[in-house]
Chains A and B, each alone.
Chain A
């Protein structure tokens, strides 16, 4: 092979430099694509994961351990093929959101469905337990559902008040409903009613209730339906089984 002239050598070097430069640009581009690709994949995956978790069915369907008993407050037909049990907290906004839906369901299905309301006052809601006792005190004078409705309908008013303020509100409701207010007051503090609320809460804990509202349809915990129609068709499905 002929030795390269000086000019050829220079040319070769220039070529090599150019190639190295091109290679450099390519690696750099690849690196950029990798960095941004990984970043967006991570962000996209995170958002998809959050959506998935939010709508995922519970992996192990929770079962209700305590069937409807004579001490439960119920609506509808006892012989019905669809039994809906709600664990609820009067101070929980989501329960307040579901209150008119459930009321309408009970009205629409009548004896075709049985609905039971159980107390599950959460510790983070300071007036919830008192509200549960107020509903029970109404129940002691055969006005449980009337008191229950009244408490939910005025949820925003008494929720923000102190314990004494909320109690004054509940007493006012009892007066409006024509109850014996002196008896209402003493019932509110009675051990029987305190125990009833606590028993409901304990039964919820046994069935792994950890948030409100929690609905059990024929003993099986359901995802909270997103609309009235969804709720209705869920019950219709159960009835047609």
Chain B
């Protein structure tokens, strides 16, 4: 089990800074990507079918929404949350904010795994923008795991 202690300050300042900057950049990319998909969704009509993106089949499928809420919007809120938490970390230097963001990336990563599975095996169509989002959340999770594992490592070394 990972040893998570959100109140401890065990990340070295440099590591924390690298992770925070990575969070900022990647969550911004994810935010851009999912806001594009959200705008497309709320335009109301199906997006035109492009040679490369393949998004129309995915975006028009029943898996693109959770009840009345488009998944693109959920993704947008997720990336926004990571971004805001990281900015708050830069503002206050409270490490628990960064670790909270790192915890969130677990949910983002698991959701992305499921969405990639849906695209490959259920909808059988791949949407480029959804794959960009999956890549972003995987990158966030990698950095997030790095932040959380540091927590345990440094404790063991003491």
B90 near A: Cβ within 8 Å? yes
Q: Is the CB of A124 within 8 A of B49?
A: yes
Question: A39 CA to B115 CA in the complex, in Å?
Answer: 29
Q: With the chains together, A95 CA to B47 CA distance in Å? A: 10
Q: Are B49 and A89 in contact (CB under 8 A)?
A: yes
Residues in A whose Cβ lies below 8 Å from that of B39: 50-51, 54
Residue of B nearest to A53 (CB): B36
A35–B92 Cα distance when bound, in Å, is: 11
**Proximity bits, B34-60, A CB within 8 Å = 1, else 0:** 011001100111111111101011001
| Residue contact B91 to A124, C-beta cutoff 8 Å | no
* Closest residue of A by beta carbon distance from B86: A39
Q: Is the interface of B mostly helix, strand, loop or mixed?
A: helix
User: B127: shortest Cβ distance to chain A, in Å?
Assistant: 10
Of the candidate stretches A143-151, A184-192, A207-215, the one touching chain B is A207-215
Secondary structure class of chain A's binding surface, majority of residues: helix
Q: Which of B35, B47, B84, B125 contacts A94 (CB 8 A)?
A: B47
How far apart sit A32 and B91, CA to CA, in the bound complex (Å)? 6
Q: Which residue of A lies closest to B54 (CB)?
A: A124
Q: Is the CB of A212 within 8 A of B49?
A: yes
Contact A42 B48 (CB under 8 A): no
> B91: which of A35, A49, A93, A122 is its contact (CB, 8 Å)?
A35
- The 0/1 profile, CB within 8 Å of A marked 1, for residues 106-133 of chain B is 0000000000000000000100000000
Residue of B nearest to A51 (CB): B39
Q: Are B36 and A42 in contact (CB under 8 A)?
A: no
B36 and A50 within 8 A (CB): yes
Complex contact A46–B49 (CB within 8 A):
no
Closest chain A residue to B125, Cβ basis: A124
Distance, CA A122 to CA B125, complexed state (A): 13
The 10 nearest A-B residue pairs measured at CB: A92-B49, A211-B50, A93-B46, A94-B46, A39-B87, A124-B54, A211-B48, A94-B48, A93-B60, A212-B49
Q: Footprint of A on B, CB under 8 Å?
A: 28, 31-32, 35-36, 39-40, 43-52, 54, 56-57, 60, 80, 83-84, 87, 90-91, 125
A-B contact pairs, 14 of them (CB 8 A): A35-B87, A43-B80, A46-B35, A49-B32, A50-B35, A54-B36, A92-B49, A94-B46, A95-B49, A124-B51, A124-B54, A124-B125, A211-B50, A226-B44
Given contacts A46-B32, A122-B49, A211-B50, 14 further A-B contacts (CB under 8 A): A35-B91, A36-B87, A46-B31, A50-B36, A53-B36, A54-B39, A93-B46, A122-B51, A124-B51, A124-B54, A125-B49, A210-B51, A214-B48, A226-B44
Q: Which residues does A use to contact B, with CB under 8 Å? A: 31-32, 35-36, 39, 42-43, 46-47, 49-51, 53-54, 89, 92-97, 122-125, 210-214, 224, 226
